[in-house]
Amino acid sequence: MVGLCDCNNFFVSCERVFAPQYNNRPTIVLSSNDGCIIARSNEAKALGLKMGQPLYQVKNIIKRYDIKIFSSNYFLYGDMSNRIMATLRSNVPEIEVYSIDEAFLNFDGYETSKLQEYGLKLSSIVKKNTGVPVSLGIAPTKTLAKIASKLCKKYPKLNGCCLMYRSEDIEKVLKRYPIEDVWGIGRAYSRKLLALEIVTAYDFVSLPAEWVKRNMSIVGFRIWQELKGVPAVKFDNSSPDKQSICVSKSFSKEIEKVEELGSAISTFVTSACEKLRKQKSCCSQLQIFIYTNRHKITALQHSESRVVMFDIQTDSTIEIAQKANEILKSIFKKGYAYKKAGVVLSHISPKLRVQGDLFDKIDRNKHTRLMGVIDSLNSDLGRNKVSLASNTDIFNISSSEFRSDEYTTKWEDILRVKV
């Protein structure tokens, strides 16, 4: 049996953990630069607010219903996600982290008849340990577990767990489950299946295997098998290293000075290199890109990117930031107002496999020790306590008017309790 633990309205739930006064008030979380809605409470959903809806389009609704707004706070959400995953790992033999707010759980060896009771207990433990409510779906396959988790969200009376394993129950659910909502069925396949009057998941599993193999990809056939209760998507508890790391940002105001843009690029490099070192890797390719605001039709437009290769793979923030600054100066054009910039590290491989050079002019052992000390200090004292002098606060270059504190990752933001 497989479980899918999905956090309910995750970003909103994270905010409410530290601001419980908004538990019953319509609440939304906005994207970078406070542009559009990326998370909604159930109360906000009931008012008709949609995912991806621009903020300016719903200002009247927000004012009319006194909707609480939060700017996105990914440092908080990331740390809360780590706490949730740690709780799951301590209670289940094996988990597969699927996204920031979802994880598959391996229940092989558990007695099926007792999984409902255990699932309810597990949901309660996560809520108690983190404050975040979750919906746990348990079924014979990953795809069916996804459906069970959605049912759990839809029906609060299930109290956080939906066990779905009897064939008659699965058939009943599939007959009412829209084909376009099935995990893995994308827009293209949805249109194709709906055009053939295959409307529900049950209509799909009723198709002959030969038809599915002939008209859909191997992924589509695996979905068909999973819906029939045959495990076809393997459980993977490994966390593969990233093959490229991108850090970018749209600015709240256009930047016209190369020095200011350089500070932003330096900050992006710092963040990317931290991620690189965290997975014990090095890169040999760096890409820088800068864009003006394409939505300003009357403004001068310029977009450019440039790629450079390092002779020796590196994870040094100093080395990569210096090269990034050189690239920026070569592509920056005076008189243009830049709205977005970013860096991409690629050609990544494990640090232990890096081939040295007898004539290398950089003391790489010294860089490694220095980066290690910086990472350790930032881990102990708080993010960006030690950084390059050229760095800027990333939130000074983006709009986050309604951003909450980093309650769990900054000493100065820890909640103060008055007694």
How do residues 119-140 score in pLDDT, each as one tens digit? 999 999 999 999 999 999 999 9
Residue 346 has pLDDT above 90, yes or no: yes
> What are 392's two structure tokens?
């800027």
> What are 385's two structure tokens?
């306590």
Beta pairing partners, 143: none
Grade residue 394 by pLDDT with cuts at 50, 70 and 90. low
Query: Which ranges in the chain are annotated with CATH 3.30.1490.100?
Result: 244-388
| Nearest CA-CA partner of 119 in 158, 167, 172, 171 | 158
Residue 237 has pLDDT above 90, yes or no: no
> What are 210's two structure tokens?
């030969």
pLDDT at position 355 is: 83
Grade residue 419 by pLDDT with cuts at 50, 70 and 90. confident
CA distance 241 to 349: 9
pLDDT at position 399 is: 64
Mean pLDDT of 27-41: 90
Residue 413 has pLDDT above 90, yes or no: no
| Integer-rounded Cα radius of gyration of the chain | 24
| Nearest CA-CA partner of 211 in 191, 220, 231 | 220
| Nearest CA-CA partner of 16 in 25, 82, 49, 154 | 25
Tell me the CATH number of domain 1-165+394-419, given options 3.30.70.270, 3.40.50.620, 3.90.730.10, 3.30.300.30: 3.30.70.270
pLDDT at position 393 is: 61
Mean pLDDT of 289-293: 94
Kindly report the average pLDDT of the chain as a whole number: 91
Q: What is the dihedral of CA 312, 313, 314, 318, to 10 degrees?
A: 50
Q: Are strands 27-30 and 68-71 parallel, antiparallel or unpaired?
A: parallel
Residue 209 has pLDDT above 90, yes or no: yes
| Nearest CA-CA partner of 399 in 269, 289, 254, 225 | 254
Mean pLDDT of 144-149: 96
pLDDT at position 295 is: 82
Grade residue 23 by pLDDT with cuts at 50, 70 and 90. very high
The pLDDT tens digits of the residues spanning 398-408 come to 667 788 888 88
CA distance 292 to 269: 20
The owner of tokens 């489950």 is: 177
pLDDT at position 240 is: 72
Protein fold of 244-388 = Dna Ligase; domain 1 (3.30.1490)
Mean pLDDT of 161-176: 94
Residue 270 has pLDDT above 90, yes or no: yes
pLDDT at position 263 is: 92
Mean pLDDT of 343-372: 89
Three-class SS of the chain? CEEEEEECCHHHHHHHHHCHHHCCCCEEEECHHHCEEEEECHHHHHCCCCCCCEHHHHHHHHHHCCCEEEECCHHHHHHHHHHHHHHHHCCCCCEEEEECCEEEEECCCCCHHHHHHHHHHHHHHHHHHHCCCEEEEEECCHHHHHHHHHHHHHCHHHCCEEECCCHHHHHHHHCCCEHHHCCCCCHHHHHHHHHCCCCEHHHHHCCCHHHHHHHCCHHHHHHHHHHCCCCCCCCCCCCCCCCEEEEEEEEEEEECCHHHHHHHHHHHHHHHHHHHHHCCEEEEEEEEEEEECCCCCCCCCCEEEEEEEEEEEECCHHHHHHHHHHHHHHHCCCCCCEEEEEEEEEEEEEHHHCCCCCCCCCCHHHHHHHHHHHHHHHHHHCCCCCCCCCCCCHHHCCCCCCECCCCCCCHHHCCCCCC
- Which string of b and e fits 141-163 if b means at least 16 CB within 10 Å? bbbbbbbbbbbbbeeeebebbbb
Mean pLDDT of 34-50: 93
Mean pLDDT of 301-316: 93
pLDDT at position 357 is: 79
Residue 395 has pLDDT above 60, yes or no: no
CA distance 15 to 195: 42
Q: What angle do CA 381, 384, 390 make, to 5 degrees?
A: 145
pLDDT at position 145 is: 96
pLDDT at position 397 is: 58
Grade residue 388 by pLDDT with cuts at 50, 70 and 90. confident
Grade residue 414 by pLDDT with cuts at 50, 70 and 90. confident
How many other CB atoms sit within 10 Å of the CB of residue 106? 16
> What are 74's two structure tokens?
């990914």
125, 87 Cβ separation under 8 angstroms: yes
Mean pLDDT of 190-213: 93
pLDDT at position 384 is: 78
Query: Which ranges in the chain are annotated with CATH 3.30.70.270?
Result: 1-165+394-419
pLDDT at position 298 is: 86
Mean pLDDT of 63-76: 93
pLDDT at position 396 is: 55
